[in-house]
């Protein structure tokens, strides 16, 4: 169901962009996905809420100067809905993760913490108050999938299954190469995990990536180029999943765009 009013604990519920150029990012995603914005002032500076069809779908915020000075490019963050940010942060640390920030209140919207898993990839946990997360998903211009790329799939599966009670099942990768792990919350597929192998550049770290739904990958790719973006990986079609492309926005943030296979349009 595209419209959302709640998220089960353990489900990915929100994404936001930490960007070196907020105005450039806003212009890019408006041109690409039709997003509209409202800016909210927070103790950490302005936070921009992106809307599609009057539903909140993502956030954007300024990148700290120290990250810019270190040469860290803009990046997307993924958040998992939890019953208690404090308890989840404590449990993550007990399981070998590191609490990077928080737990802390995000004004009246909710309570959050940023965590680094044992493999180094980072993610947020979100205890909802006034803001449940994305109000619309799985439609063009909204979040449709979260995916972990890691060099240690077994450690990742153990960590996330224990932290969020995910059911993790590994089978053949639909793309035809290697294996792919599906993490589910109850009966609902929640995220994917794949192994960074010898075909990946050595400098690529473990990371959580995001997929944004689009109506037409080729059209989206052309628009992205016109708007100053770049193609990181050309489009490819995955049987029974859809056609995807990996893009980089003008501020350096990487994301995937997915045109769902016809049988997935109503999922």
Q: What is the pTM of this model?
A: 0.94
Within 10 angstroms of residue 201's Cβ, the number of other Cβ atoms is 6
What's the length of the chain?
267
Domain assignment present for 1: no
Q: What is the per-residue pLDDT across 212-221, written as a single tens digit (0 to 9) for each?
A: 999 999 999 9
Residue 175 predicted with pLDDT over 80? no
**Which residues lie across from 40 on neighbouring strands?**
47
Question: In terms of DSSP bridges, do strands 167-172 and 207-213 run parallel, antiparallel, or are they unpaired?
Answer: unpaired
Q: How many domains are contained in the chain?
A: 2
Domain assignment present for 136: no
CA-based max dimension of the chain: 47
Same domain, 170 and 122: no
Same domain, 63 and 162: no
Q: What is the per-residue pLDDT across 100-145, written as a single tens digit (0 to 9) for each?
A: 998 999 888 999 999 999 999 999 999 999 999 999 999 999 999 9
Closest by alpha carbon to 164, among 150, 151, 146, 152?
146
Domain assignment present for 138: no
Structural domain containing residue 174: 143-264
CATH number, domain of 171, equals 3.10.180.10
């Amino acid at each position: 169901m595209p419209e959302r009013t709640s998220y089960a604990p353990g489900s990915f519920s929100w994404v936001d962009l930490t960007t070196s150029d907020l105005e450039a990012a806003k212009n890019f995603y408006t041109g690409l996905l039709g997003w509209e914005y409202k800016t909210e002032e927070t103790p950490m500076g302005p936070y921009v809420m992106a809307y599609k069809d009057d539903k909140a779908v993502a956030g954007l915020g300024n990148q700290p100067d120290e990250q810019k000075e270190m040469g860290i490019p803009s990046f997307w963050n993924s958040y998992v809905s939890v019953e208690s940010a404090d308890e989840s942060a404590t449990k993550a640390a007990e399981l070998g993760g590191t609490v990077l920030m928080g737990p802390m209140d995000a004004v009246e919207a909710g309570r959050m913490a940023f965590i680094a898993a044992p493999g180094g990839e980072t993610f947020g946990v979100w205890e909802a108050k006034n803001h449940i997360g994305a109000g619309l998903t799985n439609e063009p211009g909204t979040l449709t999938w979260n995916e972990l790329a890691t060099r240690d799939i077994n450690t990742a599966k153990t960590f996330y299954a224990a932290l969020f009670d995910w059911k993790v099942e590994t089978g053949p990768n639909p793309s035809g190469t290697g294996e792919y792990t599906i993490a589910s919350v109850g009966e609902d597929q929640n995220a994917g995990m794949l192994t960074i192998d010898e075909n990946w550049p050595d400098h690529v770290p473990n990371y959580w990536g995001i997929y944004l739904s689009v109506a037409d990958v080729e059209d989206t790719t052309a628009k992205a180029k016109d708007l100053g973006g770049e193609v990181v990986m050309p489009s490819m079609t995955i049987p029974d999943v859809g056609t995807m492309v990996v893009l980089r926005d003008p501020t350096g943030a990487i994301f995937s765009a997915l045109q769902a296979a016809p049988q997935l349009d109503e999922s």
